[in-house]
Amino acid sequence: MEQDPVSAPEAASGARGVAQPVAAPLTRAANFLVATLNPGLENRAAVRSFCGDLAALLRAVEFRDLEGGLSCVVGFGAAAWDRLFGPPRPAELHPFREIRAGARHAVSTPGDLLFHIRAKRMDLCFEVATQIMGRIGDAVTPVDEVQGFRYFDERDLLGFVDGTENPRGEAAVEAVLIGEEDAAFDRGSYVIVQKYLHDLNGWNALPTEAQERIIGRTKLSDIELDDSVKPTSAHNALTTIVKDGKEIKILRDNMPFGRPGYGEFGTYFIGYSRSPRTIEQMLENMFVGQPPGNYDRILDFSRAVTGSLFFVPSATFLDSVTEDEPADEALSAAPAAAQPAPSGRSQHDGSLGIGSLKGDTSHE
Report the pLDDT value the prediction gives residue 160, as an integer from 0 to 100.
97
Amino acid identity of residue 240, one-letter, is T
* Chain mean position to CA 5: 23
Cβ-contact 84, 5 below 8 angstroms: no
> HSE of 123 in the Cβ direction (CA atoms, 13 Å)?
3
Q: Tell me the β-bridge partners of 358.
A: none
What is each CA distance from 253 to 50, 52, 193, 250, 344, in whole angstroms? Answer: 25, 25, 10, 10, 27
pLDDT value at residue 329:
46
pLDDT for 15 equals 58
- Report how far residue 297's alpha carbon sits from residue 259's, in angstroms, rounded to the nearest whole number: 24
- Annotated catalytic residue, options 144, 156, 162, 296: 162
What is the pTM for the complete model shown?
Answer: 0.86
Q: Hey, CA dihedral for 28, 163, 156, 160, is it positive or negative?
A: negative
Q: Is 65 a catalytic residue?
A: no
By C-alpha distance, which of 16, 52, 58, 79 is closest to 310? 79
Distance CA 64, CA 59 (A): 9
DSSP 174-203: HHH---GGGGGGTT-EEEEEEEEEE-HHHH
Tell me how many degrees the CA angle 268-269-272 measures, rounded to the nearest 5: 140
Predicted local confidence at residue 323, as pLDDT: 81
CB 213, CB 225: distance < 8 Å: yes
pLDDT in single tens digits along all 364 residues of the chain: 333 333 334 433 445 789 999 999 889 999 999 999 999 999 999 999 999 999 999 999 999 999 999 999 999 999 999 999 999 999 999 999 899 999 999 999 999 999 999 999 999 999 999 999 999 999 999 999 999 999 999 999 999 999 999 999 999 999 999 999 999 999 999 999 999 999 999 999 999 999 999 999 999 999 999 999 999 999 999 999 999 999 999 999 999 999 999 999 999 999 999 999 999 999 999 999 999 999 999 999 999 999 999 999 999 999 999 887 664 444 444 444 444 443 443 333 333 333 333 333 333 4
The Cα 270–Cα 360 span in angstroms is 9
Report d(CA 317, CA 185) in Å as an integer.
8
Q: Are 363 and 156 in contact (CB under 8 A)?
A: yes
Residue 130 to residue 123: CA distance in whole angstroms: 10
Instruction: Note whether 287 and 222 are within 8 A (CB).
Output: no
Helix (H, G, I), strand (E, B) or coil at 306: coil
**Distance of alpha carbon 332 from alpha carbon 84, whole angstroms:** 6
Length of the chain: 364
Determine the Cα–Cα distance for residues 314 and 52; give it in Å rounded to an integer: 12
What is the CA 138 to chain-centroid distance, rounded? 25
CA angle 40, 46, 47 (to 5 degrees): 95
pLDDT for position 17: 86
